[in-house]
Structure 1
Amino acid sequence: MTKVRTTAITSNILIKQAVDLLEAARHQAVRNTNSLMVFTYFHLGRLIVEHEQGGNTKAVYGQETIKQLSKELCKKFGNGFSQRNLEQIRTFFLIYRNRQKKLPIPQTPSAKSSLKSETAFLASFAEVFPLSWSHYVALCRIKDTAERSFYEIEVTQGNWSVRELQRQINSGLFERLTLSKDKKSVKEFARKGQLVEKPEDVLKTPYILEFLGLEEKNSYTESDLEKAIINKIEHFLLEMGKGFLFQGRQVRFSLDGEDFFVDLVLYNRLLQCFVLVDLKIGKLKHQDIGQMQMYVNYYDRYIRTKSEKATVGIIICKDKSDAVIEITLPENNRTIFAKEYRLYLPTKAELKRIVE
């Protein structure tokens, strides 16, 4: 009996090790494939640009060059080299050409070449271009250099999928974080991405909740809004920003025999504090702000530990009056905030109007 049990345990260990090995190999293969594709397209873009510059190419001649090249490459390698794709490849090189100095030098093929050296080369290349080709295609559509740099940092640090990157671009994340900031702060965003050091750093104006699928024209309750958020909690945490963890919904606490419920309790590991979220589908009232003040006071006095920072309260509402908020909260307030939400993707012009 003991022998059978030992054999079963050994078999399970073997299976786990085999699965881990194959998954690691598959992950590495995908990463190497992505790096090889980006490497190839970067240098293909270089060849196109150098050819154009060598012939002092004018726009019309350049288009004819790409057209002819596309025809020949499609004939030999398939339809992946259309004129549009080659133009994207050319644009990719022009945008990122300054990184040539950082790239590893590929080894000349020889008898000494090995899979190990090729893998090491691709790993070095991936340090300079860590994203997939699809990510770079999306980034190259962004005209503003600072905005493009910001998204590249965020997608790398957050390990965003292409779909999530596109969603953040469409929702105007960069504008929502920087439109109300000075030029120096915008440059910091472009150079370092979003740094979370104080509560204001995680706030957005407004919050975009289009992924909930709630239509503006339909009537819905605060309970409906909360349920929709719980069903899409991963998307909601991404929208809230960096470092957010979900702890609970309708979290109850009691005072003098009366029960109170916090809509959503989050924790931000970067700020090292609780973040309480209250949802309001109508216009924000001063009573709502007072209620949040009580929630924050309770968590500060009875829940948080000495090592944790002051609790933050965020009221996410449909509409708000800045004058009411300003006069209700103390002048030195740094912990309670009211932010509007939208159930659709606004245009950049609308985002600017909202912030202003």
Structure 2
Amino acid sequence: MKKKKSNEKYNLTVSENKVVQSEENLFEELSELITSSRERALVYANSEMNLVFWQVGKRINDFILNNKRAEYGKQIVVTLSRQLEQRHGKNYEEKNLRRILQFAEIFGNYEIVVTLSRQLSWSHILALLPIKKKEALMFYAQKAASEVWGVRDLRKNISKKVYERTLIAGVQPVVANLKSVGEFKDPYFFDFLKMKSDFLEKDLESAILSDLETFIMELGKGFAFIERQKRMIIDGDDFYLDLLFYNRNLKRLVAIELKIGKFQAKYKGQMELYLKWLNKYERKEDEASPVGLILCTETSKEQIELLEMHKDGILVAEYWTELPPKKILEEKIKAAVEEAKERIERIKLLNE
């Protein structure tokens, strides 16, 4: 009988433990439910705020336009801001109300606003409004939404001229089997590596690997590191590719060669060999053919055009290890964009 009582006591303890564990699981489940609900509510609140701001801005813009009086428009904004702020809070103070009007004017399509508002907060919108070019603004808005950039990331990418550098890279004829070169830039900014002026290729490669996360951020979202000094045995000889990446958006391997100095025509043959080897031995069945990216401290535009490297799946871009002052940087990027546009026109004429 005593033995039986001991078993009953033991069984009761097990049962109690199960209840405690069940309660703990319930608590965790409820906590997760509340947390996810709060996150959804925050996203929903941000989205609703943007949509309300757009509708308010659109209504005021239409009202001013219908009256066709500029002075009246300035006056009504001041009056409305006071009234709205008094009833609905500081979101409608004059400075922000003018931003709301600008927001509604720039983003004229409500459906686009609905789509972007699912990912972008009002702080994102405020970071976008100072951008003068509509194409650049929409580029950053769509990138921030699709790649889930924080406000800090968005500001950083705007300051580093990601749009302009993507535009310059896009001047190169479309690489074989690639719908666009929008995943690439020209030039790339490697100022974070803090390289000395007399660095070697191996120093550059080592510095990149020691700060791989920042390097991948500069490459762009979708890149995943695979291997350094990828060994290839061809006819009994060893060949080594500097860096091998995979791009999830492109669904293909990306071979990167780092070069010091100006681009040379012989680099094409070297990269062609690497790409053909990768295509034969490393490419998976569900992947597209590999592409190559040759990074040089200076490109040779005419040589690259004449070599028609795009037909072999090869892109060439510059990299800068030091950034000039902001004003000079803007001038250099602007000049590069203009040169890129001229090259586009030349290519069009050649293809006619």
- Is residue 183 of structure 2 the alignment partner of residue 198 of structure 1? no
Alpha carbons 1:273, 1:312 under 8 Å: kept = yes
Q: Deviations over 1:278-313 (max 9, x none)?
A: 122322334444432332232122222344332212
Structure 1 CA distance for aligned equivalents of residues 141 and 310 of structure 2? 35
Secondary structure of the equivalent of 1:313? strand
Q: Deviations over 1:146-173 (max 9, x none)?
A: 3333333332222222233333333333
Structure 2 CA distance for aligned equivalents of residues 322 and 179 of structure 1? 12
Q: Which amino acid aligns with 1:245?
A: A
Candidates 262, 266, 273, aligned match of 2:241: 262
Candidates 34, 37, 62, aligned match of 1:22: 34
Q: 1:44 Cα deviation (Å)?
A: 3.0
Structure 2 CA distance for aligned equivalents of residues 41 and 254 of structure 1? 61
- Is residue 296 of structure 2 the alignment partner of residue 317 of structure 1? yes
Q: Deviations over 1:44-70 (max 9, x none)?
A: 324533553465432x44334333444
Q: Deviations over 1:178-202 (max 9, x none)?
A: 46879xx9xxxxxxxxxx9607524
Alpha carbons 1:199, 1:334 under 8 Å: kept = no
- Is residue 107 of structure 2 the alignment partner of residue 129 of structure 1? no
Candidates 270, 281, 288, aligned match of 1:302: 281
Q: Which residue of 2 aligns with 1:161?
A: 150
Structure 1 CA distance for aligned equivalents of residues 267 and 77 of structure 2? 61
Structure 2 CA distance for aligned equivalents of residues 64 and 270 of structure 1? 50
Q: 1:74 Cα deviation (Å)?
A: 5.3
Q: 1:319 Cα deviation (Å)?
A: 1.0
Cα distance change of structure 1 residues 9 and 229 upon mapping to structure 2, 3 Å threshold: farther
RMSD value, Cα: 4.0
Alpha carbons 1:320, 1:338 under 8 Å: kept = yes
Secondary structure of the equivalent of 1:44? helix
- Is residue 307 of structure 2 the alignment partner of residue 350 of structure 1? no
Q: Which residue of 2 aligns with 1:114?
A: none
Structure 1 CA distance for aligned equivalents of residues 314 and 287 of structure 2? 17
Alpha carbons 2:263, 2:298 under 8 Å: kept = yes
Q: Which amino acid aligns with 1:90?
A: L
Q: Which residue of 1 aligns with 2:314?
A: 336
Candidates 63, 67, 71, aligned match of 2:74: 63
Q: What is the TM-score of this pair, normalised by structure 2?
A: 0.72
Q: Which residue of 1 aligns with 2:94?
A: 83
Q: Which amino acid aligns with 1:214?
A: K
Q: How many residues align?
A: 320
Alpha carbons 2:190, 2:215 under 8 Å: kept = no
Q: 1:351 Cα deviation (Å)?
A: 3.0
Cα distance change of structure 1 residues 281 and 52 upon mapping to structure 2, 3 Å threshold: same
Cα distance change of structure 1 residues 51 and 294 upon mapping to structure 2, 3 Å threshold: closer
Cα distance change of structure 1 residues 210 and 38 upon mapping to structure 2, 3 Å threshold: farther
Q: Which amino acid aligns with 1:39?
A: L
Instruction: Report the structure number with the largest CA radius of gyration.
Output: 2
Secondary structure of the equivalent of 1:36? helix
**How do 1:241-260 residues align onto structure 2 when only pairs under 5 Å count?**
241=220, 243-255=222-234, 259-260=238-239
